[in-house]
Amino acid sequence: MKKIIIICFILLLAVPAMADYFNCQFPPYGKTVEHLNDKALFSKHKEKNGITYYKFTGECTLQIEKMVAPVEQYYGFIDNKVYCNIFSFYLPEDLTIEEFEKFGLDMMDKEIIKPIKRSVDGDWRIIKCKHVMDGLVIKFKYNSKTRQGKVGWYYKPLKDKDDFLVSKD
């Protein structure tokens, strides 16, 4: 009986710790910055087009770091609610954009819904696809001149209807 009481006590202590866990890859979309920032891991970075971006300064281990480093993490908020998470980086000289693109798509193969849309905007190569999580869209961007890359997850229910993220196709 004493062992059961000790185990129950340990579990009671563990539950609040698990509730405070922050998944940097898939944040709780729709939650407020105040809800997430109780440990001051976000610092305001900039505002653009109705989105307030915060830099994430906490610890996070990402699969992308197997290929590129350092990775800067940003989270965008619309009406103070988590809308997107963006990882920004530079490709090393010994890694081609095609190799990194293949790595990213292979890594996420089971998490994306095809078709994958590809486009070019100036020096930027862009890939867009839907994630299996309802309402989530992924966007990869690579600059062929500067070698800068960005990977973003966008929660489309928080964005305006005219945005590419909510297209029905």
| Mean pLDDT, rounded, for 147-156 | 92
Q: Could you give the CA distance from residue 61 to residue 164 in angstroms, rounded to a whole number?
A: 29
Q: Would you state the structure tokens that stand for residue 85, as one six-digit string?
A: 């998470």
Query: What residue ranges in 9-134 does DSSP mark as E strands?
Result: 42-48, 51-56, 72-78, 81-90, 112-121, 124-131
Least confident of 8-22, 64-78, 81-95: 8-22
**CA 19, chain centre distance (Å):** 20
Please state, rounded to an integer, the average pLDDT across all residues of the chain.
Answer: 78
Per-residue pLDDT at 73 exceeds 70 = yes
Q: Would you state the structure tokens that stand for residue 98, as one six-digit string?
A: 């095609």
Backbone angles phi, psi at 113, to 5 degrees: -105, 125
pLDDT above 70 as % of the chain = 79
Q: What is the pLDDT of residue 64?
A: 77
| Mean pLDDT, rounded, for 94-100 | 88
Per-residue pLDDT at 9 exceeds 80 = no
| Mean pLDDT, rounded, for 115-128 | 93
Query: What ranges do the domains of the chain cover?
Result: 24-161
Number of Cβ atoms within 10 Å of the Cβ of 163? 13
CA atoms within 13 Å, Cβ hemisphere of 124: 11
Per-residue pLDDT at 54 exceeds 60 = yes
Q: Could you give the CA distance from residue 71 to residue 64 in angstroms, rounded to a whole number?
A: 8
| Mean pLDDT, rounded, for 117-130 | 94
| Mean pLDDT, rounded, for 158-166 | 54
